[in-house]
Amino acid sequence: MTTPLLKIEQSSSSLSLYFYGDFTLYFVSKYEAQIKSANFDNIQNIEINLDNVTYLDTAAAIFINLIIEKVDNKNIKYRINSVNIEFLDTLALTQKYKSNIITQDAKKEQGYRYKLGEYFYENILGLFAFMAFLGKLFATKIHFIKNFKQIRFKEIFFEMNESAIKAIGIVSLTSFLIGLVVAYQSAYQLKLYGANIFIVDMLGISILRELAPVITAIVIAGRSGSAFTAQIGAMKITEELDAMRTMGFDPYMFLVLPRILALMITMPILIFLADIMGIFGGMIVANIDLGITSEMFLSRFTEVVDIKHFYIGILKGPFFAFLIASIGIYRGLIVKDDTQSIGFNTTKSVVESIFAVIVCDALFSIVFTNLGI
């Protein structure tokens, strides 16, 4: 068996590359270093001899094509010698289907303006695609309203159980701990000024109006939003969505709308439970740390906390649910045909859902503040 090696013969105006043995990926870096050490200043002709090569893989073929491309750019004539037709076919095939991915050196030469423009261009295309998804979604909703009998209540109830009812435990626990922590951190400061009773005001307004809706939305985004992306993404990879369309079933009607409607219906219920658990956690700390009894806490709560704060928190629920479900499902629909894409889009759906929830909450705050609510 011939030992794999590269011999370089150089004259005043020509360079010959003689390859021996198996020419595979494992020897490309070694041969590349040898070729770089050669002097190309006065070279006019290059010969690539593959007559003694026993095996040539695609990595080696790509390497040879890169050599050809470089010498061709320098207007150097080249010739490939090979008695094996399969090697020549492999070279031709890799040249025809060579990757159009920009090499690392080319990326370094592009500069920040090109990369910035490419980033914004990709994001604008993604925004347009999401707008098209929302348009299709609203068109399907209008069709649902006109054809009430076609609403799939069984699927909606199933998704209500999967995405919300089963999340009651984690939402309740998270809200309870948030109420506990907020009350505990505030108790020390309030004791300094002898304003122990005002912990009720602070907890009531902050939890009902802001903390419970936002915390619930974040938990649901991480739990149910990511599940929507993973489920629909897996269905796309296994071509279940294509099969549904082939059989005349609209994925928007059978998969998208039931999930969105289920989450929009159950989110206010989850926020209501989060309100209860958050206030309950704060009540425990107020009793232990500040000596405020449960009766005193509830009496002060009903006096100073207006019902509008409760309604505002509940009102945010359907909007947060729509954003979480829409982003999660959209990310599932754009999953590509590989499992890595599922992980990427699942992560993106959670991050984008949380960001959208925070932006939506900020808009609500601005609107309600300007309206004096």
**Selected residue with higher pLDDT from 354 and 13:** 354
| Total domains, the chain | 2
- 162, 231: one domain: yes
DSSP 122-165: HHHHHHHHHHHHHHHHHHHHHHHHH-GGG--HHHHHHHHHHHTG
Residues in the chain: 373
Tens-digit pLDDT profile for residues 209-250: 999 999 999 999 998 999 999 989 888 888 888 888 888 787
Do both 76 and 173 map to the same domain? no
**CA dist., res. 235 & res. 344, Å (int):** 16
Domain match, 168 and 302 both: yes
Q: Check if the beta carbon of residue 167 is closer than 8 Å to that of residue 270.
A: yes
Tokens 């999340």 correspond to: 167
Angle of helix 212-220 relative to helix 257-289, nearest 10 degrees?
A: 130
Beta strands 14-23 and 45-56 are parallel
Identify whether residues 332 and 189 lie together within a single domain: yes
- Are 194 and 283 contained in the same domain? yes
Mean predicted confidence (pLDDT) in 180-198: 83
- Inside any domain, residue 172: yes
Among the candidates 78, 96, 114, a domain finishes at 96
* Residue 149: CA count within 13 A, CB half-sphere: 0
Report yes or no on 114 lying in a domain.
Answer: no
| Any domain includes 167 | yes
pLDDT per residue as tens digits for the range 95-133: 777 654 445 555 555 667 777 888 788 888 888 888 888
Same domain, 47 and 156: no
Domain interval for residue 31? 5-96
Instruction: Tell me if 118 is assigned to some domain.
Output: no
* In-domain check, residue 318: yes
Same domain as 71, residue 163: no
